[in-house]
């Protein structure tokens, strides 16, 4: 705290000590003041660090958990649509744990459900494309093929 407390405080404290009969000298008093200020600022830093960076109740963790909560609710609203039968077990989740944990297991669950939905989507789109290619013939010979079967149109480009 050197340079942070004015040297005039020593003189003011010396004058006060002489007038009041207090025997604490100015330099000793300023040293104690500096120590108190250092302890105070360090305490503030520790509290701020905890409030911001704590993995369970810090502000950054709370923001992250709010985002996870919204994404979980979106996935639950979708229900079992877009999931393979083998992945239906993923819809069993305990949302109460999110407030008292870091949210890592919920984030992992969210990634697993999103991956399962993506896999289902990829599997079904590949199956539809394979079906369309197998049972229809190209109508345009320009490199972009339009397949039509029961009002289903799939555009596929070959570059």
Taking the model in full, what pTM does it have? 0.50
Q: Identify the pLDDT of residue 40.
A: 92
Give the C-alpha separation, 95 to 77, whole Å. 14
Domain that holds residue 45: 8-53
Q: Is 112 inside a domain boundary? A: yes
79 shares a domain with 23: no
22-35, pLDDT tens digit by residue? 877 888 888 888 88
**Domains in the chain: how many in total?**
2
What is the tens place of the pLDDT at every residue in 49-78?
887 777 777 788 778 888 888 888 898 888
Q: Quick one: residue 79, left, alpha or beta (phi over 0 = left, psi -120 to 50 = alpha)?
A: left
CA distance linking residue 70 with residue 76, whole number of Å: 10
Region of 25 (left: φ > 0; alpha: ψ -120 to 50; beta: rest) is: beta
For 69-110, what is each residue's pLDDT tens digit?
888 889 888 888 888 888 888 888 766 666 667 777 788 888
Closest residue by Cα to residue 13 from 29, 2, 1, 34: 29
């Amino acid at each position: 705290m050197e340079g942070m407390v004015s040297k005039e405080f020593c003189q003011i404290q010396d004058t006060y000590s002489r007038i009041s009969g207090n025997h604490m000298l100015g330099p000793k008093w300023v040293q104690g003041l500096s120590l108190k200020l250092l302890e105070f600022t360090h305490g503030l830093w520790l509290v701020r660090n905890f409030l911001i960076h704590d993995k369970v109740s810090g502000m950054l963790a709370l923001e992250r958990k709010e985002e996870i909560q919204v994404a979980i609710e979106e996935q639950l609203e979708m229900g079992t649509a877009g999931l393979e039968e083998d992945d239906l077990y993923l819809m069993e989740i305990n949302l109460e744990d999110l407030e008292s944990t870091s949210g890592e297991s919920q984030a992992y669950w969210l990634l697993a459900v999103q991956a399962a939905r993506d896999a289902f989507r990829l599997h079904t789109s590949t199956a539809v494309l394979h079906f369309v290619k197998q049972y229809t013939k190209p109508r345009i010979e320009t490199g972009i093929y339009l397949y039509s079967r029961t009002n289903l149109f799939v555009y596929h480009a070959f570059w």
